[in-house]
Structure 1
Amino acid sequence: MNKGCVTGTIILLISKGKSSHILRFDEEIFFIYLLPPIIFNAGFQVKKKQFFHNFLTIMLFGVIGVFISSVIITAGSWLLFPRLNFIGLTPRDYLGSASRGDPLAIQPSFWGRVVNDATSVVLFNAIQKLDVNRIDVWTAVRVILDFLYLFSTSTALGVAAGLLTSYVLKGLYFGRHSSVRELAVMVLMAYLSYMLAELFKLSGILTVFFCGIFMSHYAWHNVTDSSRVTTRHVFAMMSFIAETFYILYVGMDALDTQKWKMSKLSALDSVGVYSSVMFLIMLGRAAFVFPLSALSNCMNRSSSRSSSITLKHQVIIWWAGLMRGAVSIALAFKQFTHYGVPLDPVNATMVTTTVIVVLFSTIVFGFLTKPLVNYLLPPGHTSNIDRIRSITKEDMMLPLLSFEESAATNLLRAKDGLSMLMERPVYTIHSFWRRFDDAYMRPIFGGPQRDQTSS
């Protein structure tokens, strides 16, 4: 962000105050060209064991948390904005603005950010389809059902694309033993999955994220050694370039004089709007971080291997997640601009408010996050959240039945498996999946043996 502000200042000085832009930002460019490499790399580089061990907590924060935060931000904006002389927003504007909850870091896993991004985009698109003049209980039910449909189908499409790529690289001669072809197949299939999701009005974020996870789990092990090294660096490089472009643009857009001149609010009222939005974001995040952390601890309390989210961890989760990100900017431009240009003063105020909130939260909260972590969790502190719990061979056998044993033994094993499923659902499902993966998936789609798997 600082680089973007410096770049914008230089351009503003060179143009003698006329413009801080080199080019105008188009939200479609962001969603089509910039977002896919960022999300795909997040999935490709993910530590799968840690991600799925914390999957339930991630879903609590990334899905339910977004809905809770959206309700609070919508209600707060509805009450506070008119008192700050900021009027002219429609009910859809209030709802759409609240759906742009885009934390950069959702713990206990960084990758929860992707779930949150997907939830925000799906919720935003669902709100745009609503008839705001006829909102009732069934409207909320339809939004929830629509979200569940989009989440499941988008995930399935990403998984299918990842498995298809893995099968092609493992079973077919095309693309094998050529780093260029292997890399091309992986990149094109990942991008194809994203475009298909967007074509069918699904969540491209979820699709390309899970496509990246399954490619790293299967396809990456089917390519040559040189391709393995190349893919890691190329995907990281593409993600870095996309993020750099976004950072530069946000910094330059913060100094866009045209948007500032269009806004009719006084300086005092503008500061009041910015402060109100930041306060509502902090309040909305606190409203779900602490209760959902307690719920997560309650769900895992019966497991001797489960770790709880302590109060210090909850404070860090709340603080680090206050930073806004790329999806917030893109959705604001999508709702309040036409090819990057606001159509009226109200829209200009909403765009500048979003930019200021993103800029302020990223710089201030981002700068203070590391000192806060060092203060609450000093060096040498061992966190149970980051500790990977082992699963013994005996535990892995519990959920499964055997045809070689008696009915009484199988019945006892089933009871033990059900008990373990109730007490440790994540680990039971994970152990069952590992056995299924070794027996059926890896022989078809490729991948290392279990003792070689570290993620």
Structure 2
Amino acid sequence: MAAAAWWETLVVAAAADGTGGSSTTVVSICMFTTVLCLCLVAGHLLEENKWVNESITALVIGCIIGVIVFLLTKGKHSHILRFDEQLFFIYVLPPIIFNAGFQVKKKQFFHNFMTIMSFGVFGVFISGAIVSAGCYWLFPKVGFGELGAVDYLALGAIFSSTDTVCTLQVINQDETPRLYSLVFGEGVVNDATAVVLFNAIKDLDISRLKGGVVLKVIFDFLYLFATSTVLGISIGLVTAYVLKALYFGRHSTDREVALMALMAYLSYMLAELLELSGILTVFFCGIVMSHYAWHNVTESSRITTKHIFATLSFIAETFIFLYVGMDALDIDKWRTSKESFKTSIGIFGILILLILLGRVAFVFPISILSNIMSGSSERTPITFKHQNVNEMTPSKIFTHAKVVIWWAGLMRGAVSIALAYNQFTFSGVTSDPVHATIITSTIIVVFFTTLVFGFLTRPLISGMLPHQSRALSRGHSTGSNSPKDDFTLPFLSGDEGASGSGIVLEQAKRSLSMMLERPVHTVHIYWRKFDDRFMRPIFGGPRSH
């Protein structure tokens, strides 16, 4: 009984609004850290479970803790910490995105760059347009239509942001490298695009814009995308040069690790200070650091950075799902919403339908277009890497791959919730019943897609992946989709002694034809030559062979 009373006292103190002083904050953080450790242990014990993954585990545990807090405080509170979009964007999201760029297999990512960008950029615009138009048309039909034009546009960006964590935990990167690269790449680019698009929409003044609204949004998006990318690459190169020129490792490996971590975070915060996209900046900063800076540090620092960035990302991801789960039962938001149960179900159904249609509208057309645009000599249809094409019909292969890519983007996560809070609340609180309804609907959508679709992800992909993929993978290199080393460079002769205008002209024609047929391979190999000759001598990194 004494232990139960002590636990109740702690929970009640932790559930306070945080205005009681530093002791309340300490209790809240202590309890949240304890629950976070519980999530890690539970995730480990359920590692082999067919239906559950760590994100689902954290979400469910968060809900359970929310219920306990709600009962122990007699309905006064249902959360230990209140969800704050500023906390999410400034402290939690950067390590996740940076690690994604730092750990990405660059050869696969850039080999599929155009397809990934098509999914991640054009997909957000297509899905966002469908969600916005669908909400504008269907919400009034269920008795809910008191939103402004900017709110409807914001909903398109909010529900176009995907969460591919569940799918990536199931797909094996070594067995299906191209599929993993497409799903992973789309997930990162999708989140960045959705946030950039959301910020561009927030800056719109509909009352002053009579025409060209779409063009302005596109222009703002392209500006933010380009400048954020350049900033991330620049900071990554500066870090690499400093590490190479000053050789910190001769005195302290701690300084090497600290400099990389601080420069990565500086890139994100500098982008936010300049009102750019911190997600894009820190992602490309991570790619550049792994390509150059990582090779300029000592061996012990390489091992340390690899694991510490992955660990921080893992803790942050678990923290987010636990955070969302605990905040979902915040009774204040549900009390503020005045909509009937029938209207709430209608809103939820509309959002789920539009999410499904939005994915269909671009995944399948872009997949088909990507295969058509690939030249016959380099065509790598969007399919599984090690599938035995002699035993399966091409149509079945295409269908399986497209379904997996489509399914991977159905889950919605913390980015959607953070954007919804940013648009419809002030510091996580709203007194507007319409805005409260949007917040609660967003929470329901995130829970439904993460739990239901997440539960089905592992069985679905296990059934989709060919049973012989594991055996076939032993005989294939994970980089077999990369440009072949024996590919003749356009306009560059492999025979130094070749002479004569006829030979040179014939070779130029053949090289031009090859460049037009295999543009991705051509650009990649030219980049490798440029990288070896100019970039790596200055910024570091092993020379490619």
Query: What TM-score, normalized to structure 2?
Result: 0.79
Q: Which residue of 2 aligns with 1:104?
A: 163
Q: Which residue of 1 aligns with 2:447?
A: 359
Match for 1:215 among 278, 284, 289?
289
Q: Which residue of 2 aligns with 1:430?
A: 524
Structure 2 residue ranges without an equivalent (≥5): 1-58, 168-178, 384-397
Could you tell me how far apart the structure 2 residues matched to 1:40 and 1:262 are?
37
Q: SS of the counterpart of 1:193?
A: helix
* Residues 282, 322 of structure 1: 8 Å contact kept: yes
Q: SS of the counterpart of 1:111?
A: helix
Match for 2:350 among 267, 273, 276?
276
Larger radius of gyration: 2
Alignment of 1:24-423 (within 5 A): 24-100=82-158, 101-105=160-164, 108-133=182-207, 138-174=212-248, 176-309=250-383, 310-381=398-469, 388-400=480-492, 406=499, 408-423=502-517
Once the two structures are TM-superposed, the CA of residue 301 in structure 1 deviates from its matched residue by 4.6
Q: SS of the counterpart of 1:338?
A: coil
Letter in 1 for 2:300: S
Percent of counterpart pairs with the same letter? 59
Could you tell me how far apart the structure 2 residues matched to 1:385 and 1:203 are?
36
**Cα deviation 1:36-88 (Å, max 9, x = unaligned):** 11100000010101101111110110000111111111111011111111132
* Residues 108, 482 of structure 2: 8 Å contact kept: no
* Residues 232, 281 of structure 2: 8 Å contact kept: yes
Moved more, 189-198 or 108-117: 108-117
* Residues 320, 365 of structure 1: 8 Å contact kept: no
* Residues 62, 324 of structure 2: 8 Å contact kept: yes
**Cα deviation 1:95-116 (Å, max 9, x = unaligned):** 0011121112396241221111
Letter in 2 for 1:99: A
* Residues 63, 329 of structure 2: 8 Å contact kept: yes
Could you tell me how far apart the structure 2 residues matched to 1:83 and 1:371 are?
36
Could you tell me how far apart the structure 1 residues matched to 2:493 and 2:232 are?
31
Could you tell me how far apart the structure 2 residues matched to 1:367 and 1:80 are?
29
* Residues 382, 401 of structure 2: 8 Å contact kept: no
- Distance of aligned partners of 1:122 and 1:128 in 2 relative to their CA distance in 1, 3 Å threshold: same
Could you tell me how far apart the structure 2 residues matched to 1:139 and 1:220 are?
43
Could you tell me how far apart the structure 2 residues matched to 1:73 and 1:305 are?
33
- Distance of aligned partners of 1:56 and 1:176 in 2 relative to their CA distance in 1, 3 Å threshold: farther
Q: SS of the counterpart of 1:342?
A: coil
* Residues 51, 109 of structure 1: 8 Å contact kept: no
Letter in 2 for 1:197: A
**Cα deviation 1:408-454 (Å, max 9, x = unaligned):** 54444443333223211111111111111112211111112324xxx
Could you tell me how far apart the structure 1 residues matched to 2:89 and 2:503 are?
55
Q: SS of the counterpart of 1:450?
A: coil
Q: Which residue of 1 aligns with 2:64?
A: 6
- Distance of aligned partners of 1:409 and 1:172 in 2 relative to their CA distance in 1, 3 Å threshold: farther
Letter in 1 for 2:440: T
Once the two structures are TM-superposed, the CA of residue 292 in structure 1 deviates from its matched residue by 0.8
Q: SS of the counterpart of 1:447?
A: coil
Once the two structures are TM-superposed, the CA of residue 385 in structure 1 deviates from its matched residue by 13
Structure 1 residue ranges without an equivalent (≥5): none
Could you tell me how far apart the structure 2 residues matched to 1:308 and 1:155 are?
27
Could you tell me how far apart the structure 2 residues matched to 1:128 and 1:385 are?
46
Letter in 1 for 2:326: M
Q: SS of the counterpart of 2:184?
A: coil
Letter in 1 for 2:234: A
* Residues 399, 428 of structure 1: 8 Å contact kept: no
Query: What TM-score, normalized to structure 1?
Result: 0.94
Once the two structures are TM-superposed, the CA of residue 253 in structure 1 deviates from its matched residue by 1.8
Letter in 2 for 1:397: L
Q: SS of the counterpart of 1:86?
A: coil
